[in-house]
Amino acid sequence: MTPTSRPVRRSLPFLLAGVSMIGPFSIDAVFPAFPLIGDRFGVDSTGLQQMISTYLITYAVMSLFHGAISDAVGRKPVIVTGMLVYALASAGAALSTSYPMLLSCRALQGVCAGAGLVVGRAIVRDSLEGPAAQQMMSRVMLIFSIAPVIAPIVGAQLLFLNGWHGIFWVLLGFTLMLALALMVFLDETHPVAARTPFRAGTLVRGYVNFGKDRPFWPLLISCSVNFAGLFLYISSAPHIIRDLLHLSAQGFPWLFLPTVAGLMTGAWISGRLAHRRSAAYTVNLGYGFMLLACAAHLLMGLVTREPLLPWSMLPLVLHGIGVQIAFPTLTLLLLDRFPQRRGGASSVQAFGSLLMCAVVAGVLSPLLSGHMVYLALGASALTLTGWFAWRWYGRLTRQPRVPHTATAEVDVDLQTEITEPR
């Protein structure tokens, strides 16, 4: 059965967006609680950053296995189990009596949270192909984009109700509801006949084969740093809001509202471009927006000694637009390098992205968050790395142009469109 012949439920983008929201909720919702957690356990700001980096590291490592496990046993069992165990970890975090216990529960959250993100992308590509897959991915990201702005706002409001514990109780309830919805509404998209056994040797050989594919590397690099430049600002939110803007916990929307506005707009644009423009045009447009945002941030930082509201935050809109325009196409191009192992390919992509985010949160953010100019330079370096990797991929896959025919239009694949827009 081909992807396009499988019926797709209308609930699918909402389910996949829901499981994808776990990631930003796990990161952004705890930002307003940093001072309370620090006071409760006697931890300074550097130690509190471990709550993010610990989560991201375990998230990244386990992401190498989620896709391969789903290739072996199916997509649905992996996602449902991941959500249930995440709920258990959230309960443990809410009941933590020491900082090491809280970090351990955060690590367990990271182990499970990636199941939805990694396997969800494989489900999209199992079910759809070509522009339809890009549209579905864009719809998922459009819904998902509300999570980064909701998370810190919800987290800040919960501080008045039950302190920092309430954040983890809400995560518990959210994931339990998601698990129930997945059990009822999610269809299995990876048939038994297409499954591959989960063996250590097979897994290693599969990843070795990924490494032997030259175009896979620039795509992996571009995907991995695509979000990193924007995430540098997100992971630095506590420093930006409190130390640079001198605002309270209620000031987080100043950073997250522009970010989410850009992400939602970019996802909408990506969906609109799916049937109209080539992969090359779409990704180039995305990087154009990202580079423009970096230039605006750098100029604003050089002109003003202190960040000014709302002007210093407005370039985040452009950066969010660029990220979401490019991301669906980059992801689909990478998954299509290995059609029989999309779960494994999605795992490697998630591992690279999350490892990069862990470095950003644990290393770059503490080093650069003292001044907006430093953040702009860091974001620019990350974005340029992704751009150069994308250009490298274009050189590796460049093919002579062929006459446009009706048959070619039906059979065209994203990878054959990569050289230049139609």
> Burial, 36: exposed, middle or buried (Cβ in 10 Å; 0-12, 13-18, 19+)?
middle
Q: How confident is the model at residue 148, as a pLDDT? A: 63
Q: What is the pLDDT confidence band of residue 400, given thresholds at 50, 70 and 90?
A: low
Place of tokens 């509801």: 177
Domain boundaries, the chain: 11-185+214-417
DSSP 8-state code for residue 139: H
3-class SS of residue 363: helix
Q: Is the Cα torsion angle 233, 270, 20, 200 positive or negative in sign? A: negative
How far apart CA 404 and CA 264 sit, in angstroms, is 33
**Count of CB atoms situated within 10 Å of the CB of 214:** 11
DSSP 8-state code for residue 253: H
Residue 102 identity (one-letter amino acid): L
DSSP 8-state code for residue 422: -
Nearest to 149 by CA among 293, 32, 309: 32
List CB contacts of 235: < 8 A, sequence separation 6 or more.
27, 52, 357, 360, 361, 365
- For residue 328, CA distances in Å to 29, 265, 301 come to 25, 14, 31
3-class SS of residue 381: helix
State both tokens at 298.
Answer: 């750098």
Q: What is the pLDDT confidence band of residue 92, given thresholds at 50, 70 and 90?
A: very high
Residue 131 identity (one-letter amino acid): P
- For residue 256, CA distances in Å to 146, 163, 315, 324 come to 10, 21, 12, 15
Superfamily of domain 11-185+214-417: MFS general substrate transporter like domains (1.20.1250.20)
How far apart CA 241 and CA 181 sit, in angstroms, is 36
pLDDT surpasses 90 at 322: yes
Tens-digit pLDDT profile for residues 323-379:
989 988 888 888 888 876 777 777 788 788 878 887 887 789 888 988 889 999 999
Tens-digit pLDDT profile for residues 256-300:
788 888 988 988 898 888 778 888 899 999 999 999 999 999 998
Q: How confident is the model at residue 319, as a pLDDT? A: 94
pLDDT surpasses 90 at 150: no
How far apart CA 420 and CA 422 sit, in angstroms, is 7
List CB contacts of 207: < 8 A, sequence separation 6 or more.
64, 344, 348
